[in-house]
Structure 1
Amino acid sequence: MTELTHTDFLDEDPSAGELELEERASLRRVAGLSTELADVTEVEYRQLRLERVVLVGVWTDGTAAQSEASLAELARLAETAGSQVLEGLVQRRVKPDPATYVGSGKVRELSEVVIATGADTVICDGELSPSQLRQLEAKLKVKVIDRTALILDIFAQHARSKEGKAQVELAQLQYLIPRLRGWGESLSRQAGGRAGGATGGVGTRGPGETKLETDRRRINKRVAKLRREIAAMDTIRDTKRGRRLARDVPSVAIVGYTNAGKSSLLNAITGAGVLVEDALFATLDATTRRSATPDGRTYTLTDTVGFVRHLPHQLIDAFRSTLDEAADADLLLHVVDGSDPGPEEQVKAVREVLAEINERRSGPLPPELIVINKADAADELSLVRLRHALPDAVVVSARTGAGVAELVGSLAERLPRPEMTVEALVPYTRGELVARVHADGEVLAEEHLPEGTRLCARVRPDLASALESYVVNGSPA
């Protein structure tokens, strides 16, 4: 029998990202199923009963291809949430119907499709008002949700950290508050005047509180508590960001459409080992890693949450601290999926979200470097078109590593450089200063002499002050 050594176990030790990916892919108990044959029919036995959904969209502007692409994206979102898509319908209208989203005639057609397919949920490709939601459910007799609720559900499934879970819950509650509703007197807790005396007697008369009011009050209390918790987490994040700013370490934020390959790119550049999965919104928690340019300058690289068309406003508000990482960066790496049928639409959607984030802030957005990813999966014609539309973009494949070295070189050229040039002769007893110059500055020339290390480097003002005692030839400049 072969003896296993300690190194054998070390070689097979998976990273945290691999463990999380394995957890998502592993078998999970499905609520509502039973092992007793009496509870299910023969046909249903051994089948996984997912939510069966019908998709419906309203095409108000753009081309037919764009409306179909939007519905195809909704189908991917539904599948990511764990649903089985049965049918997708699009209606051409000038604007959505204010009462039922698709109009009364189309509601009857939609109801027939729901009955014929056996669907139990209808998902609308837009944000429904509370009245639209209520009327559609009343007419279709099945659960109705909109695009916003679907995205919030996916975020709730994928949130891992305490901060991510709190942010998602806050967004869900903000979405829920205007959509609270009750049915009839069964949910009422008010029994004022003689009505109270007739049924409840002593202790039930007077002004009371409906179930709706109780729910709204409890949700508002929970929202206030979540805001306090997130504010405390923001303080920790701001402290870490402040330390980086104090050291003047350049920062790069990776932004882009969901599933464009941002986490894969972070791994390719830094070897971070974060979770990579071919799924929408696989990354919700910002990950920051340290890296260095080819000439030795240190910078940080942050992977942010992915964007999507019509990203819910509640999410932008709840994920404010995470998204501020992008707005505070020195450079944005805007990742575009080169294999997507409509990459130009992705670029437009990401820039719209960035503009919305920047509305609360003063000053312009950081400079942007476009990265066309998944070059190995894209056809040559699409890449030629993208190169023409985005002439300054860098084409890479994070999976194969092609173009990553060129990207790191372009990134280094665009990062801010230290402001002051100094020439100093540092004695060997002050080796920590030489280490700081290598870590935080840009070494132009270095020579080892009997008296010490002679350096010519670009450094920040605080480091120039520390080197002032050893400056030669009248520097700094």
Structure 2
Amino acid sequence: MNDDLQGEVTRGARALVVYPHMRASARGSAELDPEARLEEAKGLALAIGLVIAEAQVIPIREPRPGTLFGEGQILNISTACELHEAELIVVDGSLSAIQQRNLEEKLKRKVIDRTGLILEIFGERAATAEGRLQVELAHLDYQAGRLVRSWTHLERQRGGFGFLGGPGETQIEADRRMIRDRMGRIRRELEQVRRTRGLHRDRREKAPWPVVALVGYTNAGKSTLFNRLTGAGVFAQDLLFATLDPTMRAIRLPGVEKAILSDTVGFISDLPTQLVAAFRATLEEVTAADVILHVRDIANPDTESQKRQVLGVLSDLGVIPDGEAELDPEADPEEPIPIIEVWNKWDLLEAEQDELLRETMAHRDGETIVPVSALTGEGCENLLEVVGHQLNAGAKTYEFVLPAADGQRIAYLHARGEVLSEEPAGEGEQGPLMRISVRLSERELGRFRAL
């Protein structure tokens, strides 16, 4: 195979994007509409700076073990590449190392699958040291299974010593060992990052500020909403995976002195398994939130499918209960984190869609839904009021007698609760006491008692 097929994906390269649409029985799971999935694949390619020469859905009846596509389909792909002068082929699906190598040999062009493409995007966008470590780990994990196609010297061997020595360690074995060693070092570094993040999270739980996390399908408008609510300048663009590293800013809410708003990486269907594991620490921020804002691109025709993908990830993280999981009767049931659905991009709706969705909202009992346009600011003030109300929901009145010198706990009650009265309560072993009557939610009460 030509060495020029081994290079990195080049920005500005002309790409043929193909989505291999398999029957539901072959995939074993629900998926986006084929045309919507093709549009998403084009968005991924554009996010890495590729030029879309042509895009097409290719139906797959039975996947071929060696090439995925049939011979006739490969010929059609080759013809399309010649016709549209495409130098790169993006397959919006998972390719084995053998399939990728065989396709490159038959098509005489570089082939990249969905996993490789997303890894390229993540590698370019990761801004923090943690993000770069996570991306490198995912890259190495992906590369380890593709040494068969990624290196040109695999048939060579390093010679042994002495007359009785064997042929020595093959180059592929040495490369795999080097990758394993490097992955081990990165995992140790990431474990330290997780411990540090855990300490910071523990401090935040003890600090008098609730955390509100933005989650949603990629390109749903989370970062635009984040900037609108906080006045921050976080990178926000009409691109898939515009945000990769978690960002936090302080905001003011009605009835809440101060809260922390956290922007997170966008979810996507068929996220590569390497990235699910590598970015778990980033998504763990969501598990420590007091309220989750599920931002949805309500103007997208596949918004319901995208919602299912997001809820599936939240279920995997343990944020929401898994309907199929069995509950441990001896375990202490933990109060689920409340989720507010933010129907974003409302300004893009036609009048008929607007009316239909408002009728839908009226019949969604038990759910909190707020329509907004992060771009224009419409509905954002209402969203802040709803979040503030949610943080104070279920609050009850409690009375505490605390040492006047216990500034941390007194400050916590003032910041996280509604102090109704505060008066001297005599003397105690540690000096003057204060009697404080305060309204607190169950969640805040638990955190207060843990201080």
Specify which of 28, 52, 55 is matched with residue 14 of structure 2.
Answer: 52
| Partner Cα distance (1:174, 1:243) in 2 | 33
Instruction: Give the alignment of 1:130-279 within 5 angstroms.
Output: 130-181=97-148, 186-190=153-157, 206-247=166-207, 249-279=209-239
What displacement does 1:348 show? 1.6
- Aligned partner of 1:421 in structure 2 is 398
1:109 counterpart = 2:76: yes
2:173 is paired with a residue of what secondary structure? Answer: helix
Contact 1:286 1:303 in 2 (8 A): yes
Gap change, CA 1:183 and 1:273, over 3 Å in 2: closer
TM-score (norm. length: structure 2): 0.80
Higher mean alpha-carbon deviation, 234-243 vs 400-409, is at 400-409
Q: CA deviation digits over 1:330-357, x for unaligned, max 9? A: 3221000123232112112212222233
1:404 aligns with 2:380: yes
Q: Give, in angstroms, the shift of residue 327 of structure 1.
A: 2.6
Q: Tell me what 2:427 maps to.
A: none
Distance change in 2, residues 1:387/1:227 (3 Å): farther
Please say if residues 256 and 306 of structure 1, whose CA atoms lie closer than 8 Å, have aligned partners that are also in contact: yes
More deviation, 49-58/152-161: 49-58
Cα distance in 2 between the residues matched to 1:49 and 1:307: 24
Report the secondary structure of 1:334's partner residue: strand
Give a deviation string over 1:301-339, Cα, whole Å, max 9, x none: 211100111111111100111111113323221000123
Name whichever of 182-191 and 267-276 sits farther off: 182-191
Deviates more, 1:413-422 or 1:71-80: 413-422
Distance 2:46 2:117 in 1: 10
SS at 1:253 equivalent: strand
User: Any unmatched runs of 5+ in structure 1?
Assistant: 1-30, 33-47, 467-477
The one-letter amino acid of 1:414's match is Q
Matched, 1:333 2:293: yes
Q: Note the alpha carbon deviations across 1:402-424, whole angstroms, 9 max, x for none.
A: 11121122222322666652288
Q: Could you tell me how far apart the structure 2 residues matched to 1:253 and 1:184 are?
A: 42
* TM-score of the pair, normalised by structure 1: 0.76
Q: How many correspondences in the alignment?
A: 411
The structure 2 residue matched to 1:75, chosen from 42, 50, 54, is: 42
Specify whether residues 185 and 379 from structure 1 end up closer, same or farther in structure 2 by C-alpha distance, changes over 3 A only. Answer: closer
- Aligned-residue offset at 1:447: 9.8
CA-CA distance at 1:258 after TM superposition:
0.9
- Kept in 2: contact 1:189–1:208 (CA 8 A): no
Q: 1:185 and 1:151 mapped to 2: Cα distance? A: 24
The 1:353–1:204 alpha-carbon spacing in structure 2 relative to 1, beyond 3 Å, is farther
Paired residue for 1:457, among 435, 438, 443?
438
Which region of structure 1 is more displaced relative to structure 2, 94-103 or 149-158? 94-103
The unaligned stretches of length 5 or more in structure 2 are 1-6, 25-29, 425-432
Amino acid at match of 2:147: L
Greater Cα radius of gyration, structure 1 or 2: 1
Q: Give, as a single letter, the amino acid of the residue that structure 1 aligns with 2:415.
A: A
| Correspondence for 1:18 | none
What's the CA shift for 1:379? Answer: 2.4
Query: Secondary structure at the residue paired with 2:348?
Result: coil
Change (3 A) 1:222 1:424: closer
Query: Quick one: structure 1 residues 59 and 223, their matched pair in 2 at CA, closer, same or farther if it must change by over 3 Å?
Result: same
Secondary structure at the counterpart of residue 73 of structure 2 = helix
Q: Which moved more, 1:326-335 or 1:315-324?
A: 326-335
Q: Shift of the alpha carbon at 1:93?
A: 2.7
1:457 counterpart letter in structure 2? V
User: Which residue type is aligned with residue 18 of structure 2?
Assistant: V
Taking the aligned partners of 1:439 and 1:279, their CA distance within structure 2 comes to 38
Q: Answer yes or no: is the 8 Å Cα contact 1:55–1:123 preserved in 2.
A: yes
Cα deviation for residue 143 of structure 1 reads 0.5
The 5 A counterparts of 1:374-393 are 374-389=345-360, 391=364, 392-393=368-369
Residue pair 1:55, 1:75 contacting (<8 A) in 2 also: yes
CA distance in 2, matches of 1:139, 1:204: 42
| Alignment-mate amino acid for residue 439 of structure 2 | R
1:90 match: 57
Supply the distance in 1 between the matched residues of 2:42 and 2:256 (Cα, whole angstroms): 46
1:204 Cα deviation after fit: 11
Matched residues in 2 for 1:342 and 1:393: separation?
A: 18
Distance in 2 separating the partners of 1:373 and 1:350: 15
Report if aligned partners of 2:210, 2:416 keep a CA contact under 8 Å in 1: no
Aligned residue for 2:317, secondary structure, equals: helix
Q: Is the Cα contact below 8 Å between 1:287 and 1:303 reproduced in 2?
A: yes
Partner-residue secondary structure (3-state), 2:118: helix
Aligned partner (choices 284, 287, 302) of residue 342 of structure 1: 302
Query: Aligned partners of 1:304 and 1:246: how far apart in 2?
Result: 22
Given residue 218 of structure 2, which amino acid in structure 1 is its aligned partner? T
| Structure 1 counterpart SS, 2:145 | helix
AA partner of residue 249 (structure 2)? R
**What SS does structure 1 have at the residue aligned with 2:174?**
helix
Q: Distance in 2 between matches of 1:308 and 1:353?
A: 9
Q: Is the 8 A contact 2:254 2:389 kept in 1?
A: no
* CA-CA distance at 1:107 after TM superposition: 0.6
Confirm whether residue 371 of structure 1 aligns to residue 342 of structure 2.
yes
Gap change, CA 1:376 and 1:213, over 3 Å in 2: same
Identify the match of residue 66 of structure 1 among 18, 28, 33: 33
Aligned residue for 2:430?
Answer: none
Question: Aligned to 1:127, which of 87, 90, 94?
Answer: 94
Asked whether the equivalents of residues 256 and 388 of structure 2 are also in contact (C-alpha less than 8 Å), the reply is no
For residues 221 and 432 of structure 1, do their structure 2 counterparts lie closer, same or farther at Cα, with a shift above 3 Å needed?
closer
- Which residue matches 1:319? 279
Root mean square deviation of aligned Cα: 3.7
What letter corresponds to residue 145 of structure 2 in structure 1? P
Percent identity, aligned pairs only? 40
